[in-house]
């Protein structure tokens, strides 16, 4: 076979392959187009649904409707039936045009927890119960800076062992309402009541552990700080150095 005939054969093979590739692509394009325009009806949100909002109330308020969605874009569990959602609540925020799926609905006790406390990065929030006289009255408000002071107590004699600054600087995130807590020891004539308040503060993990231990070992007091306050944790005060300057 001379060179000219060989080139003609190669050209013919290339042409056949080209036609085949065009056919395959066209067939795939037809399928993609069919998937795109072959739609089914599914329930979608028309308005924002908040966590904890019941499906029944949202439905009655017109927050859901049936919409045509391409088959290829239908989410697992999405459909045109609402029976499976009856009596449930939204577990998380559902936005307009979002398809309804069972995993986003459940019982009221499953609602996604959200926090409104402005917890600083890397910190956690804990609450400290302090006696009314140990919290600077009503001057402590969210955003205030406080020091936490611990007094360790000998439980057998109720005598103080040492008082030391436990945390020299923490931020108050919330100040709860006061509550009356009975401290009765069971005797007929003993019915003392302490007024305590919960202060929620931002702390590190280590500081949280220190606070919880100190609560069990004695009493906690908070001291309100300002920009000029000088707090320098030291060895604290005990019976031996109480009157030292």
- Which band of pLDDT confidence, cut at 50, 70 and 90, is reported for residue 70? confident
CATH fold for the domain made of 39-110: Type Iii Antifreeze Protein Isoform Hplc 12 (3.90.1210)
Amino acid 148: pLDDT: 94
Domain residue ranges of the chain, discontinuous segments joined by +: 39-110, 124-238
Determine the Cα–Cα distance for residues 86 and 58; give it in Å rounded to an integer.
11
In this model, does residue 94 exceed pLDDT 60? Answer: yes
- Which band of pLDDT confidence, cut at 50, 70 and 90, is reported for residue 8? low
Q: Which of 76, 114, 110 is nearest to 91 (CA)?
A: 110
In this model, does residue 34 exceed pLDDT 60? Answer: no
- Which band of pLDDT confidence, cut at 50, 70 and 90, is reported for residue 189? very low
In this model, does residue 35 exceed pLDDT 90? Answer: no
In this model, does residue 130 exceed pLDDT 90? Answer: no
Three-state SS at 152: strand
Angle at CA of residue 119, ends 117 and 120, nearest 5°? 155
Amino acid 9: pLDDT: 59
Q: Which DSSP state fits 112? A: P
Strand partners, 196: 131, 179
- Average pLDDT of the chain is 80
- Mind listing the pLDDT tens digit for each residue in 206-237? 999 999 999 999 999 999 898 899 998 899 99
């Amino acid at each position: 076979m001379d060179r000219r005939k060989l080139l003609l054969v190669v050209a013919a093979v290339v042409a056949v392959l080209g036609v085949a590739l065009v056919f395959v692509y066209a067939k795939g394009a037809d399928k993609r187009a069919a998937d795109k325009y072959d739609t089914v009806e599914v329930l979608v949100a028309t308005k924002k649904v908040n966590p904890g909002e019941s499906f029944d109330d949202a439905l009655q308020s017109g927050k859901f409707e049936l919409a045509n969605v391409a088959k290829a874009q239908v989410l697992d569990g999405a459909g045109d039936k609402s029976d499976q959602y009856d009596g449930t609540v939204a577990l998380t925020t559902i936005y307009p045009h979002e398809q309804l799926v069972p995993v986003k609905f459940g019982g009221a006790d499953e609602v996604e927890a959200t926090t409104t406390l402005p917890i600083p990065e890397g910190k956690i929030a804990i609450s400290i119960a302090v006696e009314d006289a140990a919290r600077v009255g009503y001057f402590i408000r969210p955003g205030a800076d406080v020091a936490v002071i611990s007094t360790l107590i000998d439980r057998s004699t109720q005598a103080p062992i040492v008082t030391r600054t436990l945390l020299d600087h923490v931020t108050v995130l919330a100040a709860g309402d006061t509550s009356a807590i009975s401290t009765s020891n069971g005797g007929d004539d003993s019915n003392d009541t302490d007024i305590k308040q919960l202060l929620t503060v931002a702390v590190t993990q280590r500081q949280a552990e220190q606070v919880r231990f100190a609560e069990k070992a004695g009493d906690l007091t908070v001291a309100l700080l300002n920009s000029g306050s000088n707090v320098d944790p030291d060895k604290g005060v005990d019976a031996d150095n109480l009157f030292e300057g």
